[in-house]
């Protein structure tokens, strides 16, 4: 089962959609945009899923013009991927792309899991100038764009907003506080019966994802669901399509995949971080679910990122 279709990812995707459609998020999103003039999006935790969305208010004309250039588009995506990876472990994080625009990702967590990121930015930290634009053209490659595209890019560049660093940091502080509120909202949404899943199973999923790094015996999870062990096993298998043990293992392995993308993290440390009691148990589960060992998986993914 791929990361895109794992139980953990499906749970997070559903939860993120409900958060993004909640009245609390829509009200705050509009208020933040009005007060700061900056865009605000709630995006998935998967760094490979980044893209410009279909909301015009979230778009920067300069960013859109840049994304018409293949080399710039690739650099932009890589910047966002790196930004979210760092924010996952370090908290709210701001970085600058090769064009000088700053971008910020603020993680929204539920228990041990990051379910999404609040994203803002697409502004300069100082007034853009024609000299800086000429330097940018050199980075992109003048021969890769037409004269018409260059003129449009220049116009969009010079019209892009700039926000002083201290003021921008105050905006990030507001988002950090809101991310905490969204985390509480996520916990509430996780136990609301959506009609497609029994409320008891929703409660169980919420408990599982908030405690993936801890032992999750059947009796404990069933009690949090408010069901007997036998009734819970039957209902959980019908709803999730997996036994509790298989579901928990797949969720932990999905988490481990992301941790393995951090070169400095030791595999043994990752094994205990995601809830396994021994390295051998982790290696067996990883190979059974993914098809390769953690070492081989890490090597292939890091080589792909570097290429």
**CATH 1.10.10.60 domain residues, the chain:** 191-306
Q: 3-class DSSP state for residue 213?
A: coil
pLDDT, position 296: 93
Class of the domain covering 191-306? mainly alpha
pLDDT, position 2: 45
Are the beta carbons of 191 and 206 closer than 8 angstroms? yes
Which tokens belong to 130? Answer: 């024609």
What does the pLDDT look like over 46-98, one tens digit per residue?
A: 655 555 454 555 567 777 776 654 444 566 677 777 788 788 778 899 988 87
193 pLDDT above the threshold of 60: no
CA distances (Å), 297 to each of 58, 260, 281, in order? Answer: 35, 8, 17
Say whether pTM exceeds 0.85: no
15 confidence band (pLDDT: 50, 70, 90)? confident
What CA–CA distance (Å, rounded) separates 84 from 233? 36
């Amino acid at each position: 089962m791929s990361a895109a279709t794992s139980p953990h990812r499906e749970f997070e995707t559903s939860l993120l959609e409900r958060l993004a459609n909640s009245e609390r998020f829509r009200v705050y999103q509009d208020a933040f945009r009005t007060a700061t003039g900056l865009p605000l999006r709630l995006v998935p935790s998967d760094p490979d899923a980044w893209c410009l969305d279909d909301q015009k208010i979230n778009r920067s004309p300069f960013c859109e013009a840049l994304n018409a250039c293949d080399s710039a588009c690739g650099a932009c995506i890589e910047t966002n991927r790196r930004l979210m990876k760092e924010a996952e472990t370090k908290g709210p994080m701001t970085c600058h792309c090769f064009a000088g625009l700053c971008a910020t990702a603020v993680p929204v967590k539920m228990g041990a899991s990051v379910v999404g990121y609040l994203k803002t930015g697409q502004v300069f930290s100082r007034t853009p100038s024609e000299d800086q634009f000429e330097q940018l053209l050199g980075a992109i490659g003048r021969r890769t764009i037409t004269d018409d595209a260059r003129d449009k890019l220049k116009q969009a560049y010079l019209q892009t907003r700039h926000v002083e660093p201290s003021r921008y940091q105050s905006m990030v502080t507001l988002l950090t506080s809101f991310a905490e509120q969204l985390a509480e909202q996520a916990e509430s949404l996780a136990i609301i019966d959506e009609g497609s899943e029994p409320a008891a199973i929703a409660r169980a999923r919420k408990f599982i994802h908030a405690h993936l790094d801890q032992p999750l015996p059947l009796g404990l999870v069933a009690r949090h669901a408010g069901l007997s062990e036998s009734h819970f096993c039957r209902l959980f298998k019908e709803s999730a399509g997996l036994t509790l043990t298989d579901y928990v293992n797949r969720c932990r392995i999905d988490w481990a995949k992301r941790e393995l993308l951090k070169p400095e993290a030791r595999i043994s440390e990752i094994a205990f971080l995601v809830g396994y009691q021994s390295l051998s148990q982790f290696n067996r589960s990883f190979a059974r679910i993914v098809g390769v060992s953690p070492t081989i998986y890490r090597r292939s993914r890091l080589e792909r990122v570097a290429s």
